[in-house]
Every structure is written in C-alpha cells, then in structure tokens.
Structure 1
C-alpha cells in the first residue's frame, strides 16, 4: 500500500466495485450510498423489485450503475446480477454492503488493507460483534448455527458467516450458482473455500436500529431452505470434497517423503500411528465397496487418529493387490461356511462366480480385514518403537 494514495486510487488500482442489493430500504438507502461515495464512485445498486420510493431515490444518483429487477426474486439473485454486471465492467473484486443501514461504509478501508496485504486469493467477511446490546438472540443463534455447518463442510472456523458486508474475488468464486435467496451467501463461501479460496473474517462495526432496519428474512421458509442447502453441502463434502483433498495432498508427496514425514517424523504417539495404520488396512480390505474413503475418514476423525495415514493404508486394495485380498478373504471364509469354494482364476475374473459364494467372501473379508489390521498395527507399533529406540 502506498501511503500517499487516496482510497479512491487504491480502489481503482484493485479494480474493485461496491455492490448494494436493496429491497424496500428507502429509509436507509441514501445514507448507505452517500457513505460509499466518500470512497468510490464504482457502485452498482441492484434494485430487487422494490415497491417503496427506492426508484425515486436512485434517480438522483447519476454517477452510479443501477440494475432494476421488476419483481423481487431474492438477495441471492440480486447479488448474482451484481456480480455479472461487475464482471462485464471488468472489475476484479466486488465489495457487497447491505442497504438496511447496519453496516458502516467507514469500514471499507479495513477491507482494502486486508486485501492488499493478502498473499493469496481471499474472500473477506465482516465479523460483527453478535454479543453487543440490541442484537436479536435469534440472529446470534442463526449465526452460530451457520458457523458450525460452514466449519463441518470446509474445515474453516469463522466467527461470522452470515454478515452481508463482504469482499469477493470475482474470478475465483464459482461461475455457476444454484440458489437465489438468503442461502446464496452460504453457497458462495462454501464452494469458494472448496475451490481453494481463503475465507476469513475481519472486524467491522455494526448498527442495529429497530426503528430504521427492515429485514426480509422469513424465519421458517428461509431457515428451511438454508437447512436443505447445508444437508446437500454436507453430503458433497463427505462424498467428494474431503476424499478429493486427501487424494490431492497424498499425490503431492513422493513415497519416500510420505514415510519420512507422515510416519517416521510424525508428532503422533507410536500407538496412535499404529492404530491409524491398522484402521486403514481394516477398512481397505473390509467389504465397504464405494464407501471406504468416507468411512475411514469419518472413523479416523471420530477416534482422533491420523487421517492421512488411515486414508493411505485404506488403499491396500488397489488393483495389483485385489487378487491377494480376494484370495485371503475366500480362504479365511472357507473356515466358516459349508461347501466352500477355493480361489482360482475363474473366481477372480468372473463376478457371477464370486456372487455364488458371497457369504463366504463377506464373512472371510471381515475376518481377514480384522486379522490383517491387527498384524499391520502390531507390526508397525513394534517397528516404530524399535526405530525410535535406536534414534535415542
């Protein structure tokens, strides 16, 4: 940051605009626009079907862009329209501020400072003090509820995920969205985080004036929509995002680096490391087809084991080892069923043949998985104990 630059010059250099979505906030709209004009004229106001005097107010501002939507379609849609307009005007960043007067435009420099000092693409969310006097308890509860699910879906811990005072990197957020109402602000930060964008809070001030503030949040309908969205996002996170991230992190390392960093030099205890390996081997052999990654990550998180180790060793059933896994499962299962089948090449290549002896395979694979998990766990525990002893 150049200390001799004005705020407007900094904003121009960053190619940043301010988007103000509004719907029937005529009491506070002028104050918000005038406050933003103190810093920049790069303003896009999205009039989302207002039926009050919003049109008359906006007619007096000739230096700003106005998007008029004939019928109210929701805040998410208004933001999407604003983003599209900003991209068309070649802006790189969009700062969104609510028109109900709860945000102070004087906090714009805080966003500029954090954006200019960031070393990677970042999405900034204003962190309101939800414990201050006058803030409704339902708002505080809703924010905590949203924070929890955002953490569960992304692994990122934030104090405020519902603030509308935000800065978006337009080229790094998703190009397509699927929501149009209040839940859009959840979708965009979750999916941006999944894309590798840093999402973080910055401190802002807030004003809750019940005489002026107009909220269009419908507790039952919007909370239901948000809950449905979070349910979908959780499934996507568990079935795709988290396994994808583990696979990507594993691929970045050579086998030699993995042994040195994740096993030999791990800060975990020997017992925890061995238990993580044992869990991975068990899940990798057990007949949890298609769900092995999900199950091993969930169990590793539940038992607080090393997720990378557990995931890595769950891949023991990779194609070159599948014949040995099937052989071990069938041979083990032969001790528990009558008329057992013996392993041969036809059993391996003919799935219908394997189906005829599915009970033998299922029982055998569970027992075989338990035995191999135990052996790998005990073996790794002894080897790691010996290695640490020799290091001393």
Structure 2
C-alpha cells in the first residue's frame, strides 16, 4: 500500500526521458522542458554513436538542468524507465513525469499534468491519448484489447488507458514496487507497472492529452516479439488478479460507498439530483460502461450490443427514479394532449421501452461514427428541400432537439467529407458520453463547438462561422445551462413549458436562414425531416418579447407534431415543465 510520503514532502518533480536512437526530436524536447524550468533526467538505453553525440551536446548545453544516465547496453523501454525511476527517487525527487523521446507527446500539457500531480500527490497522473489522423489504425484498434484486459485485471474501469507513456509517477510508491517486482523490460512495461501500482492501492487519475505520430518518427515496437510479451504479461496479470479479487472488489465497493456518503452529506440545495437543474446533475453511467458497450459493438456487431443494453436499461429503469418520473410525466402529457393516437397508460414497461429507445439511440450515435450505420440507413423525407439548402452558399442555423438522433446527421456528413456542419453543444453535460464518441472516430471533435451559454463573445465567434458558409446546429428544447439563461414559455403538450431564447436571439444576430431538423428512427431505418423555419429571424425592439414568444411557439408546435408521430423518441429525462421565470 502507499505510504503517503509524497503527501508530507515538498513537491519536487523531474522529467524522465528514456532514449534509444531518437536523435531527431530529443533536442527540441529537452529545450522546451528546460525552458519551463524543469530538471530533466535522460536515460541513454544503449544508443548508437550519433544519438550519444546528440545527448552529450544537450547535456553540455544544459549542464545545470540535465542529468544523463548511460546504460551499458540496450535494456528496452521498460528497463530504461525502471532505472530512471529508481535513480530519480535516489536523487530526492518526489515525482517523475515520463515523456517519450520520439516527439509524440504534447509538451504544452506538462504544466497541467504536474499541477494535477501536486494536487494528487499519491496518484499516478496517466495520459489518455487524443489522436489526430497520424495514428496508425492498427495501433489504435489494438489498444482496445489491452484496455479490456486491464479492466479485468483491476476489476474496475479506473484505468482508462494503460499504454500511454505520458504520465506522472509518485516515486516513493513506485520505488517500493520496483524493489519487490521486476517489470517487463520492453513495451509491456507501461501497462504492467500501472496495474501493479493500482493493486498496491495507488490511485490512477486519467487526463486527456494530444498524441501525434511524427512522419519521421522512429518506433522500436516489434510486432511479433512485443505482442507475444504483452500477451504473456496479461496472462500473468490475470492470474495475479485472482487472489487479489476480494480486495479489489472491496476497494470498488468502498469507493462507491464513499461517493454515496458524500452525496448524502452534500448541502440541501444539492442533496438530490431531482432538486438540481439538468446541467448540474451527475451524468448517469460510467465512461467504462459506455466503452464496454462500444467494445461489444465493435467486436460482435450492433445486434450483440443491443442485447447487452437490456440489463443496463433494466438497471437504470429500477434505480433512476427521476428518469422514470420524467418519462411517465411526458407520456401522460402526450397521452392527454393527443387522444387520437390512443397511447397506453405510462406503466413501468412503457417507461422501460422509452429508456430502451434512448439507449439504442446512443448506441446508434456510436455506430454512425464508427461507420456501422451509413446513408442507406437514413431516408430523407424531402430531399429537394435539403438539396436546395445544401446548394446555397450562405451559412445557416439549424435548430434540432432531443427528439430522435441528431448526432446521426453530423456523423453521416463527416463520412461524406462535408465539414460545414458544426454542432453547438453545452460543455457541462454528457462529457463522458462525448469522450466515448471521440474515441470512436478522430473526426468527432473536428466540428464540435462547446459553449457554456450563448453570450456576446460566443455570438461573435458563431457569426464568423456563418459568414464563411457554415451550418450551426443547436438544440432548442432545453433551457440554457446557466442560472442566468433566459427562457420564453410556449404551449407544449397541453401546458406552458420553458424554451431557451438563445436559439432565436442567435438567429437574429446571425441574420441567416433558419431550418428545423429531426432525425427519427422507424423500425429499421432513420427518417430525416428537414424544413424551413424562417428565411431570417427579426426581433424588433418594440415587440421583442412578443416576437420571441411567437418563434418559440412555432418551434414548440413542430416539436409536438413530431412527438405525436414518434411518441417514444423524445429524450429529455427531467422535469421539462418545471417553472423557470424569464429573466
């Protein structure tokens, strides 16, 4: 177990870089780190003469900041890093940030990683890669096999990515482990040491970081030898997990209990999810659970993944009282407002079906970004209207909703190389789910605009997008994600409901055509509805409030129309009709 020494000593970090025949980028890397006033420990893992000369020049240039350790022969990455960690601890450092020498890691993230280590001195701060187009597809997909086995070996989802070498080690706990265990000497090292530190009670905190593969980068990964070594490592770790399983399960239960206790001890104003605005409620489900379903989708197909959803939906249908209540309320309101469609009473099984539709829509978003759902799965209700708008060089504002699956349209657009469609999303909601989608396709974040609210600065930025011909997609059926957000009440399913003023104010500021978009699932396919809302939105000063109400009522009317046609596909699982006074 950890001793807590780092929590008592001053925070004294260094940067550890193992080097084996990487002369191209190492000088730039060290110069950048030294400019940040960080001590650097270079471990020369038996490099050739050219690389040794480069390292000698670096040490001469930064004599006070750089320590150069030379190994007599090549030990492999694991051997070099193990040696460097022991040596850094002996020199009196408390933490070591491992950085690769091939130029893959984003050194702009170094201060943030070290600050996290300062705040969490007993934790490993482990990088979770965000790749660009340079990543080899085989390397990207192969990582998921290791992710799965690490989840098994730790009986948890705490380790998001065990293979990224950009991480901060707490040296006291790491040196204690290395005194008792000899980790693999090559590429299996990163995963092995992280799992074993976790076994010893060291917390693992994941942090996103950009990772690139330089065109002239040098990789020492041996396809056959390293894959065999990694397979043997996982075999040892799985057998090592078995006697530790009771302790690991107890740890997971204890952590869950502590989270529950912290929630019950929270202030009354935040004690229950249902008492909070939707943007402040904790996101349901774990990122690991989402990724596990994504793994099933990738490996076994959509049908198998949908089968896996059944127990997940059942769990939330039983446990999430707020979602059940919101679903029943919506169904009853729709039943009362639309007697002509003869909806059944909102029983538990109807609520289960409603939640199942939502879960399957989320799975379809992932499948669309993975390319498992394509254009042949979507039928356009009025192709002429969509083609006319697409051929117009002007930018446009597209207002969608939480009815159906809006993300499908963006994924399909990206698959066809259409990059003019940008989704405007709130940063405070569904971060974990967006992280899972980002892992499914490197293009996911390319056309995503994250905002806290639609303020003047945001409006100026969005107008620039419109002026260059982009389409901005925003949802209109949620109140703003801030207490100060303005709303306007409009009739919706038989009662006044608050709708955000933001989309209509934004449309007036952008002075562009406005469309409505709904992508709704039939039995086996999706149907896309695209219709004109206004050629331009005007809000005269003398009748501003009345005009806003008119636009909101028109939008609410169309939303209700499609809710009647697709009653189980509106996915706002909170009290949408809760009163919120306009500011």
TM-score normalised according to structure 1 size: 0.57
Matched, 1:58 2:49: no
CA distance in 2, matches of 1:65, 1:248: 39
CA distance in 2, matches of 1:127, 1:52: 34
Q: Go from structure 1 to structure 2 and tell me whether the alpha carbon gap of 1:19 and 1:247 turns closer, same or farther (over 3 Å shift).
A: closer
Aligned twin of 1:38: 35
Residue 142 of structure 1, CA deviation: 2.4
The correspondence for 1:241, drawn from 244, 268, 286, is 244
* More strand by percentage: 2
* 1:179-214 alpha-carbon deviations (Å, 9 max, x no partner): 211111111100111111111221112222122x10
CA distance in 1, matches of 2:70, 2:104: 23
CA distance in 2, matches of 1:184, 1:220: 16
Q: Contact between 1:150 and 1:157, CA under 8 Å: does it hold in 2? A: no
State the SS of the aligned residue for 1:171: helix
Q: Go from structure 1 to structure 2 and tell me whether the alpha carbon gap of 1:237 and 1:53 turns closer, same or farther (over 3 Å shift).
A: same
Residue 31 of structure 1, CA deviation: 1.0
* 1:230-286 alpha-carbon deviations (Å, 9 max, x no partner): 011111112x111234578999xxxxxxxxxxxxxxxxxxxxxxxxxxxxxxxxxxx
Aligned twin of 1:149: 149
Q: Contact between 2:20 and 2:46, CA under 8 Å: does it hold in 1? A: yes
Aligned twin of 1:161: 162
Residue 98 of structure 1, CA deviation: 0.2
Structure 2 spans left out of the alignment, 5+ residues: 1-8, 255-310, 313-583
TM-score normalised according to structure 2 size: 0.39
Matched, 1:227 2:231: yes
Q: Go from structure 1 to structure 2 and tell me whether the alpha carbon gap of 1:93 and 1:101 turns closer, same or farther (over 3 Å shift).
A: same
CA distance in 2, matches of 1:223, 1:250: 34
Residue 40 of structure 1, CA deviation: 2.7
CA distance in 2, matches of 1:151, 1:31: 36
Matched length: 241
State the SS of the aligned residue for 1:168: strand
CA distance in 2, matches of 1:70, 1:245: 40
Q: Contact between 2:158 and 2:204, CA under 8 Å: does it hold in 1? A: no
Aligned twin of 2:86: 84
Q: Go from structure 1 to structure 2 and tell me whether the alpha carbon gap of 1:202 and 1:156 turns closer, same or farther (over 3 Å shift).
A: same
* 1:40-99 alpha-carbon deviations (Å, 9 max, x no partner): 341110000111422112222223111111211100000011011111101111100000
The correspondence for 2:210, drawn from 205, 209, 212, is 205
Aligned twin of 2:197: 192
Aligned twin of 1:128: 129
CA distance in 1, matches of 2:143, 2:245: 24
Q: Go from structure 1 to structure 2 and tell me whether the alpha carbon gap of 1:68 and 1:156 turns closer, same or farther (over 3 Å shift).
A: same
Q: Contact between 1:44 and 1:82, CA under 8 Å: does it hold in 2? A: yes
CA distance in 1, matches of 2:159, 2:144: 9
* 1:293-337 alpha-carbon deviations (Å, 9 max, x no partner): xxxxxxxxxx99xxxxxxxxxxxxxxxxxxxxxxxxxxxxxxxxx
CA distance in 1, matches of 2:147, 2:248: 21
Residue 159 of structure 1, CA deviation: 3.7
Residue 134 of structure 1, CA deviation: 1.5
Alignment of 1:1-392 (within 5 A): 13-60=10-57, 61=59, 62-63=63-64, 64-118=66-120, 121-130=122-131, 132-154=132-154, 155-173=156-174, 174-175=177-178, 176-178=180-182, 179-211=184-216, 213-238=217-242, 240-246=243-249
Which has the bigger relative contact order, CA under 8 A and spacing at least 6? 1
Aligned twin of 2:473: none
Residue 170 of structure 1, CA deviation: 1.0
Q: Go from structure 1 to structure 2 and tell me whether the alpha carbon gap of 1:104 and 1:249 turns closer, same or farther (over 3 Å shift).
A: closer
CA distance in 2, matches of 1:72, 1:105: 26
State the SS of the aligned residue for 1:204: strand
Structure 1 spans left out of the alignment, 5+ residues: 1-11, 252-302, 305-392
Residue 146 of structure 1, CA deviation: 1.5
Q: Go from structure 1 to structure 2 and tell me whether the alpha carbon gap of 1:248 and 1:47 turns closer, same or farther (over 3 Å shift).
A: closer
CA distance in 2, matches of 1:98, 1:233: 25
